[in-house]
Amino acid sequence: MLRLLTWLFAFPLWVVLLSGCATGGTTTWVEGGVGPRHFKFQEIVPKRTSGPGGWRAACLHVGILRDTTGELFYCKFGVEVPIENEAQGAIPIDVAQSRCARCANLAAQTTLAAATPATPIGIACEEFKTLYGLMLGGVITGARVMRTCDPRVEPVVLTPLASSPK
């Protein structure tokens, strides 16, 4: 059986997030996860007054490996969150990191579970970013997922394991 194994995010404790069957008997596996520690936020707009204001940004380059072809693609995206917004008040970094990770994993599960061997990884990446932005904006008012990273922010690069479990 032809398998598409998508190693999405590498971290020490591998947890299977989702496995499902795609059409035509092809199985898509999404494993791993991005953790809060991968969101290394840097202040890009300082908060200067009381009330809403200020911005933090993080940058991730996440390797997606298609084991059927050996194709490795880096899905690159930026995440920006307010330091304080009107709806939720001050947003501590640990809260932003946790919510960003949770939303990223859910968006990845949803997007990549629908991938087939014929799905271009770059297209799946763009679909992930769109869905991730919608989800994240729903839990942190004003947060956004950017197609590219802020040039002032050092990317966190996550490379998948080269071999797949049997």
**Residue 5 pLDDT exceeds 90:** no
DSSP lists the bridge partners of residue 145 as: 79
Condensed to tens digits (0 to 9), the pLDDT of residues 36-83 reads: 999 999 999 999 999 999 999 999 999 988 878 888 899 999 999 999
pLDDT of residue 114: 83
Of 161, 10, 16, 40, nearest to 100 (Cα)?
40
Local structure of 82: helix, strand or coil? strand
Global pTM value: 0.78
